[in-house]
Structure 1
Amino acid sequence: MDEEQFGPVLPIIRYGKVQEAIASANRLDLGLGASVWGRDPVQTRQVATQLQAGTVWVNQHGAVHPMVPFGGTKRSGWGVEFGVDGLKSVTTQQVISTRK
């Protein structure tokens, strides 16, 4: 897998060892999102924290919430959308000072 996938497609790649899968995913210069699937919540959490992606879903993929920032890492995405960080990324502060 060397390109980002968009649309109703979820590529699945099997690996013999978890560390091989993490290394393979992190080797890419893309990092919009990733998902980890498994039955052990401790192990899936450990894997998720090692992946270099803007969002990592566990036992799901593609779920976004408008109050939670969403953005990629590396060469993925266009900055941050949603949440306070998303709002800050498309606004500029302005101070207006008026003498009384």
Structure 2
Amino acid sequence: MRKFFVRHKLSVDDITHLSDSDSEIVIAEKVLKIEDPIEVETYEKRYLAQIIDIKKNSVEVMILEELGDRESEYIPSITIVQSLSNDSKFNF
């Protein structure tokens, strides 16, 4: 099952469009057809969706059910380093 990312929040029975780049890929490859199931992922959750329309420039999908929270495999570690300047360096 193909997975696509949508930047905004969704809920069951919502109808949304895939991003322009994702739509271009689906239209160009001609592998997915209307009524094919796909997985849609947002920042918070994963959903099972179905393609309901393929137009010239966009792909429209309907959210069928929620698959659960998004699982992030990579949690970055960030270290912040700050230097303290010496007053003598700023005397002119």
TM-score by length of structure 2 reads 0.24
Task: State which structure, 1 or 2, has the greater radius of gyration over its C-alpha atoms.
Answer: 2
Q: Which has the higher helix share?
A: 1
Answer 1 or 2: higher relative contact order, Cα 8 Å, separation at least 6: 2
